[in-house]
Amino acid sequence: MMHFSRNARGLAVAMGLFMALGALVSTDQAPPVNVPGIDKPVIVVTGSVTGNETWVSTNYYVLRGAVFVRDGATLNIQAGTRVIGESWSNGTLVVSRGGRLNAIGTASQPIVMTSDQPAGGRSRGDWGGLIINGRARLNTPSGQASGEGDTGQYGGDDDNDNSGTIRYLRLEFAGIEFSPDNELNGIAFQGVGSGTQVDFVQIHMNRDDGLEYFGGTVDLKHAVLTNIADDSLDWTQGWRGRAQFIAVSQRSDDADWGIEADNASSNHNFEPRSNPLIYNMTICGDPDTNEGGESVRGTLFRVGTAVTFRNFLILGSKNLGMQINDAASLALVGQGVTQVGAGIVSGPATPLHSSVAQFVTGGQFPNVLVNPSNIGVAASDCSNHENPNFQPSSVATLAGGQLAPIMPPNDGFFEAVTFIGAVPPAPAADWTAGWTSYPQR
């Protein structure tokens, strides 16, 4: 086995996260580097990236502890590169404010961030995940905040801040727990600005939330969130980005909300208010009870968040499809700030919480169908853990028949659509195919 140490002098910088994760171990005591099926040189990465650095697909890169991309530095990751989070040291990649990550894969050569455990022995929480800190605005009293696990400050006054580009990235088996009920997200976007580009991302088998947004304005397109143990998509502290084509498939052994959305718990009307625009999303709960009783809830908008939520499918949640909590969030519907429409909620006997049902019957949430007889996609298909199928079966069922989509803004980010849900009906191409993967272990 070949392996090389890179940037060992920066190890001390990462001690804060090591200590928070309970894994401060001398490098002299480090076990052998574990890369299952090794067929390339292994680069062990520690400490900090402080200049311009490129990781190439002809090597494996092992994250030993917290690796920081520092202010002014840029980390480029080539297509097809595999980055491995070391389990014993809680390997984690953190982009500091002012740092940039350009992880640009392709459909045929995605970048993979994964566990160092062998196939069949991997599980949620094997390693840390990816944390990106930016300088965009938050609604915290100081306009700044400190990331979990001593991962640095985030926030500021630059909503156009650029933390780099992520494209065709698959991240799996992350979300290490560093204290009870306190795990890392698959990717945490913390005060990340709209200059950052994120397109074609899969988060699979994460222990905590799949994608979580702490304020900021970063956009998201083409995301697949599968078998997440907590919330698949979560936001708080004033996220105001845009998102389109988001596919969620839950697993009933451990899953919470498909979306859990907050503004600010201490003051529900803090500004800037969380208010993303989300078009074309499928949330597929797991109706099966053989693995467990989780995957019970679809979406929750609460504590003052606003949202525009269009062209959605919410299927198979065991208990509840959609809920809005708290007076501040409910008031935003009457004010026309929160807009929901053109969607299907199907599965539970009472899929809409009373807070939402009143808006559907009252016309504030137009064209929301509840348990229609033919929805064109089955929860049993998109909750297939090894091979989820998010494609509705018929164009006529949705776009041309029961339910027409609402066109998103023509602003250069959103794409015009002829369907609801995350993925177009067959025979159109399935954008999730080819670059995603769904291993259970």
Structural contact between residues 311 and 421, judged by C-beta atoms closer than 8 angstroms: yes
Q: Average the pLDDT over 168-184 and give the result.
A: 84
Structural contact between residues 146 and 153, judged by C-beta atoms closer than 8 angstroms: yes
Q: Give the separation between CA 46 and CA 59, rounded to whole angstroms.
A: 16
Residue 109, in any domain of the structure: yes
Q: Give the separation between CA 67 and CA 268, rounded to whole angstroms.
A: 35
Q: Average the pLDDT over 395-405 and give the result.
A: 58
Residue 414, in any domain of the structure: no
φ/ψ (deg, to 5) at 351:
-70, -20
Residue 389, in any domain of the structure: yes
Domains of the chain: total: 1
Residue 427, in any domain of the structure: no
- What's the pLDDT at 370? 86
DSSP string, 26-39: -GGGPPPP--TT--
3-state secondary structure of 169: strand
Structural contact between residues 363 and 302, judged by C-beta atoms closer than 8 angstroms: no
pLDDT at residue 237 is higher than 80: yes
pLDDT at residue 409 is higher than 80: yes
- What's the pLDDT at 376? 58
Q: Give the separation between CA 70 and CA 49, rounded to whole angstroms.
A: 6
What is the percent of the chain where pLDDT is above 90?
69
- What's the pLDDT at 37? 72
> In which band, very low, low, confident or very high, does the pLDDT at 379 lie, cut at 50, 70 and 90?
low
163: left (phi over 0), alpha (psi -120 to 50) or beta: alpha
Which residue has better confidence, 153 or 418? Answer: 153
pTM (predicted TM-score) = 0.92
- The overall average pLDDT reported for the chain is 88
Which residue has better confidence, 432 or 380? Answer: 432
- Strand pairing class (182-183; 177-179): antiparallel
pLDDT one-digit tens code per residue, 322-375: 999 999 999 999 999 999 999 989 877 778 999 999 999 999 999 998 887 665
Which residue has better confidence, 162 or 31? Answer: 162
Residue 438, in any domain of the structure: no
- What's the pLDDT at 380? 60
Task: Give the CA angle between residues 91, 239, 391 to the nearest 5°.
Answer: 80
**Unique residue bearing structure tokens 């909750």:** 383
- What's the pLDDT at 4? 46
Tokens of 414: 């959103």
Structural contact between residues 234 and 203, judged by C-beta atoms closer than 8 angstroms: no
Structural contact between residues 245 and 277, judged by C-beta atoms closer than 8 angstroms: no
For residue 375, the enclosing domain spans: 3-402
Minimum mean pLDDT among 79-88, 156-165, 269-278, 423-432: which range? 423-432
pLDDT one-digit tens code per residue, 2-53: 344 554 333 333 334 443 443 333 344 567 687 877 789 999 999 999 999 9
In our burial notation (b when 16+ CB lie closer than 10 A, e otherwise), range 352-366 reads: bbebbbebbeeebbe
3-state secondary structure of 300: strand
Residue 417, in any domain of the structure: no
Residue 126, in any domain of the structure: yes
- What's the pLDDT at 252? 76
Q: What residues form DSSP beta bridges with 308?
A: 277, 339
Q: Average the pLDDT over 212-230 and give the result.
A: 96
pLDDT one-digit tens code per residue, 76-124: 999 999 999 999 999 999 999 999 999 999 999 999 999 999 999 999 9
Contacts of 186 (CB under 8 A, 6+ apart): 129, 130, 171, 174, 175, 203, 206, 208, 209, 210, 211, 225, 228
φ/ψ (deg, to 5) at 98:
90, -10
- What's the pLDDT at 401? 52
Structural contact between residues 133 and 191, judged by C-beta atoms closer than 8 angstroms: yes
pLDDT at residue 395 is higher than 50: no
**Residue ranges of the alpha helices (H) in 13-89?**
15-20
pLDDT at residue 199 is higher than 50: yes
Candidates 232, 280, 279; CA nearest to 259 is 232
Residue 409, in any domain of the structure: no
Q: Give the separation between CA 350 and CA 333, rounded to whole angstroms.
A: 21
pLDDT at residue 285 is higher than 90: no
In a 10 Å sphere around its CB, with 0-12 CB exposed, 13-18 middle and 19+ buried, how is residue 181 labelled? exposed
Which residue has better confidence, 16 or 149? Answer: 149
Tokens of 331: 């008031």
